[in-house]
C-alpha cells in the first residue's frame, strides 16, 4: 500500500509530490498526460503574482501572498529561472483609476506592497510608458517564471528523493477500502492511505466520487501569443490593463504583456468558458480577441516607443490552456468532512502557479502532522543540472564542450539548444519521452522556426536514447506519432 497517491502532475501535483518527498513516505504520482505539466500548467501567463488582487481572507489571497514570497528561494534551489520584474496595471480613464484604487485597497489588506501612480510616477518606472495612460498601480513584487519548467524541476527533485511517477496513467475511479483508498487506473489498481487530488480541470470528478460535498470545475480557456525574442529587449516590467469583470463571474487580470524568463514576450489573454476539460486549442475568436486588443491598444504599452505597430510578423506561435475555475470562486482545499485522508487541491485557477508551493506545504502537513511522519535524513533539495547552453558565458561553454563534445552540436538553432542538453533531458529523472517533452525541458523547437529544422534530429536522438524506432516516437504521447509509415519501398517478388 502506498502512503500517498497524488492524482495529477501539474504545478499543484508536482509541488505536492516534492513536499511529500521530504518525508519518510512511499509516494506515487499518477498523470494521464504523456508528461508532467501537460495541462493547465503549460498554458498560462507565467506570472508570479504578488497577491494584490484576491479577496482579502480568501485562500487565494493567503496562498498567493505566501507562495509569492517562497518563489525566489524555491527557484534558486531548483535552478529554475525566476525574475522579479514588477507589474504595472495601467488605466486610461478615470473609471479605470477608480478600479486601480480599489485594487490598492485589496493589496493593502493582503499586505502586498502596491503604489497608486500618476502618469509621472509610471514614467519613472517605465520611461517609455505609452500614450493615453493616465496612471496605474505599481506592484514591485510581481515576477515571472516558466511554470512548466518549475513543475518539471519539482517532479525531477521529487523523483530524486524517491517519489515514483506513472505517466500516461489515468486515474479512473476511487473506492474507500479498509485503511485507505483503492485507485483504479488505466495502468492497474493501486491502494493508498492518502489521496491528494491535484487533478486540475478534472478535480471535481474525483472529489464527487468520494464526497457528498460536491463542486464543479468550469474549464475557462485562455490563449496567448508568443512574440520573437528579438523584441524582448524593449520590455522589462509586466504591463496589464485594468481588468473588467467576466459575465460568468470572477475576473481575470486583464490583457497584458509579459516578458517571459526565456527572453520572449507573452501576450494575452482572453477568458472564455468551455466544455472540454482538456481544451488547449487556439480558436479564431480567442486569437482575434488578443490580436484586436493589441492592435488597438498597442500605443499604451512601453514597447510601442520602439515598435510602433503591433508586430504581427514577429508572432512566432500561439498556445492555449484551460483554467480550473471552480463554482465556489475560491481554491477548494483540504479534506471534505465526509472523506478524511482525501485531500483536495482543487479549483487552482489563477493565481495557482504562484500559490501552489504554499498550498502543497499545508496540504502535506495534514498528513504528516496527523501521522507523525518523520522527515528523511538524506533529502536532497536541489537538482543536478547544468545551465542551458544559450545562457552560458563563453568560458562556461568552452568548459562544457571540453567535458562533453555534444555541447558543440547545436540541434535547435533558433534557441541554441545543444545535443548534450537534449540527451540529458531524456536521461534525467522523469525524463522526456516525446518530442514535446524534449521541447518543454530544453526549448528545442520553441523558437522562431517552431521545430522545422530540429524536430527530425530530436526524433533521432529520442530513438537512440530510448532504443525505439522512428515510427514509435510521438509528439506528445498517445496517438500523436510524428511519422506514420515507411516511404514506398519495392516489395519483394514484385519485379519491375
Q: Provide, rounded to whole angstroms, the least separation between the CB of residue 376 and another protein.
A: 39
Q: Provide, rounded to whole angstroms, the least separation between the CB of residue 480 and another protein.
A: 4
486 binds another protein (CB under 8 A): yes
371-379's contacts with Cβ under 8 Å and 24+ in sequence apart are 373/3, 373/23, 373/24, 373/25, 374/23, 374/24, 375/22, 375/23, 375/24, 376/21, 376/22, 376/23, 376/24, 376/161, 376/162, 379/21, 379/22, 379/161
Enter the C-alpha cell of residue 349.
485557477
DSSP state of 482: S
The residue within the footprint of another protein, chosen from 316, 367, 425, 458 (CB under 8 A), is 316
Residue 184 to residue 189: CA distance in whole angstroms: 4
Exposure of 134 by Cβ count < 10 A (0-12 exposed, 13-18 middle, 19+ buried)? middle
Residue 395 to residue 399: CA distance in whole angstroms: 6
Which among 321, 445, 360, 432 is positioned nearest to 41, based on CA atoms? Answer: 321
Q: Looking at the annotation, which residues are catalytic?
A: 49
- Those residues whose C-beta lies under 8 Å from the C-beta of residue 369, and which sit 6 or more positions away, are none
Nearer to another protein, 281 or 330 (CB): 281
Helix (H) or strand (E) holding 27: strand 27-30
The residue within the footprint of another protein, chosen from 409, 427, 464, 468 (CB under 8 A), is 409
296 binds another protein (CB under 8 A): no
Q: Provide, rounded to whole angstroms, the least separation between the CB of residue 314 and another protein.
A: 9
219 binds another protein (CB under 8 A): no
231 binds another protein (CB under 8 A): no
394 binds another protein (CB under 8 A): yes
Site for another protein in 112-151 (CB under 8 A): none
Binding region for another protein (CB under 8 A) out of 56-64, 82-90, 125-133, 411-419:
411-419
Site for another protein in 413-432 (CB under 8 A): 413-414, 416
Yes or no: say if 242 and 254 are a contact pair by the CB < 8 Å rule: yes
282 binds another protein (CB under 8 A): yes
Enter the C-alpha cell of residue 414.
533558433
Residue 135 to residue 138: CA distance in whole angstroms: 9
402 binds another protein (CB under 8 A): yes
Q: Provide, rounded to whole angstroms, the least separation between the CB of residue 485 and another protein.
A: 5
Yes or no: say if 428 and 153 are a contact pair by the CB < 8 Å rule: no
The residue within the footprint of another protein, chosen from 128, 164, 191, 281 (CB under 8 A), is 281
**3-class DSSP assignment, residue 406:** helix
Enter the C-alpha cell of residue 376.
528523511
The residue within the footprint of another protein, chosen from 45, 47, 304, 474 (CB under 8 A), is 474
Nearer to another protein, 83 or 231 (CB): 231
Nearer to another protein, 39 or 357 (CB): 39
Inter-CA distances, 84 with 20, 61, 89, 115, 293, Å: 28, 19, 16, 16, 26
Site for another protein in 34-93 (CB under 8 A): none
270 binds another protein (CB under 8 A): no
The residue within the footprint of another protein, chosen from 83, 116, 125, 291 (CB under 8 A), is 291
- Those residues whose C-beta lies under 8 Å from the C-beta of residue 329, and which sit 6 or more positions away, are 249, 250
Number of residues that bind another protein (CB under 8 A): 57
- Those residues whose C-beta lies under 8 Å from the C-beta of residue 245, and which sit 6 or more positions away, are 251
- Those residues whose C-beta lies under 8 Å from the C-beta of residue 327, and which sit 6 or more positions away, are 215, 216, 217, 218
Nearer to another protein, 14 or 446 (CB): 446
User: What's the angle, vertex CA 435, arms to CA 456 and CA 189, rounded to 5?
Assistant: 145
Binding region for another protein (CB under 8 A) out of 60-68, 167-175, 293-301, 318-326:
318-326
**3-class DSSP assignment, residue 469:** coil
Residue 388 to residue 441: CA distance in whole angstroms: 10
182 binds another protein (CB under 8 A): no
The residue within the footprint of another protein, chosen from 320, 347, 351, 352 (CB under 8 A), is 320
Yes or no: say if 360 and 19 are a contact pair by the CB < 8 Å rule: yes
Enter the C-alpha cell of residue 219.
474549464
Nearer to another protein, 299 or 397 (CB): 397
Nearer to another protein, 222 or 336 (CB): 222
230 binds another protein (CB under 8 A): yes
164 binds another protein (CB under 8 A): no
12 binds another protein (CB under 8 A): no
487 binds another protein (CB under 8 A): yes
Binding region for another protein (CB under 8 A) out of 51-59, 134-142, 203-211, 401-409:
401-409
Nearer to another protein, 186 or 398 (CB): 398
480 binds another protein (CB under 8 A): yes
483 binds another protein (CB under 8 A): yes
Yes or no: say if 440 and 35 are a contact pair by the CB < 8 Å rule: yes
Yes or no: say if 9 and 31 are a contact pair by the CB < 8 Å rule: yes
Binding interface with another protein (CB under 8 A): 225-226, 230, 280-284, 286-287, 291, 313, 315-320, 394, 397-398, 401-402, 405-406, 408-410, 413-414, 416, 448-453, 455-456, 460, 470-471, 474-476, 478-489
Amino acid at each position: 500500500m502506498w502512503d500517498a497517491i497524488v492524482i495529477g502532475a501539474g504545478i499543484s501535483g508536482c509541488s505536492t509530490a516534492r513536499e511529500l518527498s521530504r518525508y519518510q513516505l512511499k509516494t506515487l504520482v499518477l498523470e494521464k498526460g504523456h508528461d508532467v505539466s501537460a495541462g493547465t500548467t503549460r498554458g498560462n501567463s507565467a506570472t508570479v503574482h504578488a497577491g494584490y488582487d484576491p479577496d482579502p481572507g480568501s485562500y487565494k489571497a493567503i496562498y498567493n501572498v505566501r507562495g509569492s514570497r517562497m518563489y525566489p528561494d524555491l527557484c534558486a534551489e531548483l535552478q529554475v529561472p525566476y525574475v522579479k520584474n514588477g507589474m504595472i496595471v495601467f488605466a486610461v480613464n478615470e473609471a479605470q483609476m477608480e478600479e486601480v484604487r480599489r485594487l490598492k485597497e485589496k493589496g493593502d489588506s493582503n499586505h502586498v506592497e502596491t503604489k497608486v501612480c500618476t502618469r509621472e510616477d509610471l514614467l519613472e518606472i517605465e520611461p517609455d510608458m505609452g500614450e493615453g495612460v493616465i496612471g496605474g498601480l505599481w506592484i514591485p513584487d510581481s515576477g515571472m517564471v516558466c511554470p512548466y519548467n518549475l513543475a518539471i524541476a519539482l517532479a525531477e527533485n521529487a523523483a530524486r528523493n524517491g517519489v515514483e511517477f506513472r505517466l500516461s496513467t489515468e486515474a479512473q475511479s476511487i473506492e474507500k477500502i479498509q485503511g485507505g483508498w483503492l485507485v483504479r487506473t488505466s495502468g492497474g489498481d493501486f491502494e493508498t492511505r492518502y489521496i491528494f487530488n491535484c487533478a486540475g480541470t478534472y478535480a471535481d470528478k474525483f472529489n464527487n466520487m468520494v464526497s457528498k460535498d460536491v463542486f464543479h470545475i468550469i474549464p475557462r480557456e485562455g490563449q496567448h501569443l508568443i512574440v520573437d525574442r528579438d523584441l524582448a529587449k524593449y520590455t522589462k516590467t509586466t504591463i496589464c490593463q485594468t481588468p473588467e469583470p467576466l459575465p460568468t463571474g470572477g475576473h481575470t487580470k486583464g490583457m497584458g504583456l509579459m516578458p517571459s524568463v526565456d527572453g520572449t514576450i507573452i501576450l494575452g489573454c482572453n477568458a472564455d468558458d468551455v466544455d472540454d476539460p482538456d481544451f488547449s486549442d487556439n480558436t479564431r475568436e480567442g486569437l482575434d480577441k488578443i490580436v484586436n486588443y493589441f492592435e488597438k491598444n498597442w500605443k499604451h504599452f512601453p514597447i510601442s516607443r520602439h515598435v510602433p505597430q503591433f508586430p504581427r510578423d514577429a508572432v512566432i506561435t500561439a498556445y492555449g490552456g484551460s483554467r480550473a475555475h471552480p463554482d465556489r470562486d475560491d481554491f477548494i482545499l483540504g479534506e471534505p468532512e465526509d472523506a478524511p485522508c482525501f485531500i483536495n487541491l482543487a479549483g487552482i485557477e489563477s493565481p495557482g502557479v504562484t500559490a501552489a508551493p504554499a498550498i502543497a506545504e499545508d496540504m502535506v502537513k495534514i498528513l504528516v502532522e496527523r501521522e507523525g511522519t518523520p522527515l528523511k535524513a538524506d533529502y536532497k533539495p536541489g537538482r543536478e543540472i547544468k545551465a542551458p547552453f544559450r545562457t552560458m558565458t563563453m568560458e562556461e561553454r568552452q568548459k562544457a564542450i571540453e567535458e562533453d563534445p555534444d555541447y558543440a552540436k547545436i540541434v535547435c538553432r533558433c534557441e541554441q539548444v545543444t545535443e548534450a542538453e537534449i540527451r540529458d533531458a531524456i536521461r534525467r529523472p522523469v525524463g522526456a519521452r516525446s518530442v514535446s517533452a524534449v521541447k518543454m525541458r530544453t526549448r528545442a523547437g520553441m523558437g522562431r522556426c517552431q521545430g522545422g529544422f530540429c524536430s527530425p534530429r530530436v526524433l533521432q536522438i529520442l530513438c537512440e536514447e530510448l532504443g525505439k524506432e522512428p515510427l514509435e516516437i510521438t509528439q506528445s504521447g498517445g496517438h500523436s506519432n510524428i511519422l506514420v509509415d515507411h516511404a514506398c519501398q519495392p516489395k519483394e517478388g514484385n519485379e519491375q
